[in-house]
Amino acid sequence: GAGVSQSPRYKVAKRGQDVALRCDPISGHVSLFWYQQALGQGPEFLTYFQNEAQLDKSGLPSDRFFAERPEGSVSTLKIQRTQQEDSAVYLCASSRKGLAGGVETQYFGPGTRLLVL
Amino acid sequence: GESVGLHLPTLSVQEGDNSIINCAYSNSASDYFIWYKQESGKGPQFIIDIRSNMDKRQGQRVTVLLNKTVKHLSLQIAATQPGDSAVYFCAEKDAGGTSYGKLTFGQGTILTVHP
């Protein structure tokens, strides 16, 4: 079946430009996570959605980062006024159940590689 | 903690050998652990998981061992194949109610399998 998809796969932005990164989770998955992965590092948590509700945004590095999932399926991560330190791979993951369902495997998309010049 | 940057631990093995990749975790409140494989240009791929009430779990060609006393996790790959070459990450989930299932990843180990 179809996995998690992300678009664009690559994005080059000039410093100060706004970008929007899209995530299509596995159909029917309740939970959606965004992670940021710097070169040579493991992914780091950014934010979590259960359906359309953003329950945890503790990992967002600044108020320039904003995420939404208005209909509980597709999610968009927006970065305003991009800076060079925002250059990274942005990964989206989804899992079938919400919090009440207990621990669930997170399935990752291929990521969007963002380069800010 | 110290940033590893590009200096990830590496493991180089011959095809057919068994591989053991180690991971130390820091959060004694973690109740769920996962190993992911990440190939170049791809997202992490789930390999195997283990809950904190277990100390060993086996899958196809892979075994995960958990030692909660010393907060250590290992991944054993039997009969390693060139297709196993990738970066391997361990990840943990905090049992706390506000963790919302988010994963904390370790630094990663580069596995290279030579034919």
Phi, psi of B45 (to 5 degrees): -115, 125
pLDDT for the residue B99: 59
The pLDDT tens digits of the residues spanning A87-115 come to 999 999 999 887 766 677 899 999 999 99
pLDDT at A91: 98
Q: Please give the mean pLDDT across all residues of chain A.
A: 94
Alpha carbon distance A105, A95 (integer Å)? 6
Shortest distance between the Cα of A111 and any Cα of chain B, in A, equals 6
pLDDT tens per residue, range A16-55: 999 999 999 999 999 999 999 999 899 999 999 999 999 9
Q: What is the pLDDT confidence band of residue B97, given thresholds at 50, 70 and 90?
A: low
Whole-number pLDDT of residue B2:
36
Percent above pLDDT 70 for chain A: 97
Question: In this complex, which of B34, B46, B101 lies closest to A48 when CB atoms are compared?
Answer: B101
Residue among B47, B49, B46, B17 nearest B32 (CA) = B49
Asked if B93 and B99 touch (Cβ cutoff 8 Å), the reply is yes
Look-up of token digits 């963790």:
B99
CA distances from B111 to A86, B42, B73 (A): 28, 16, 16
Contact at CB, A95 and B93, closer than 8 angstroms: no
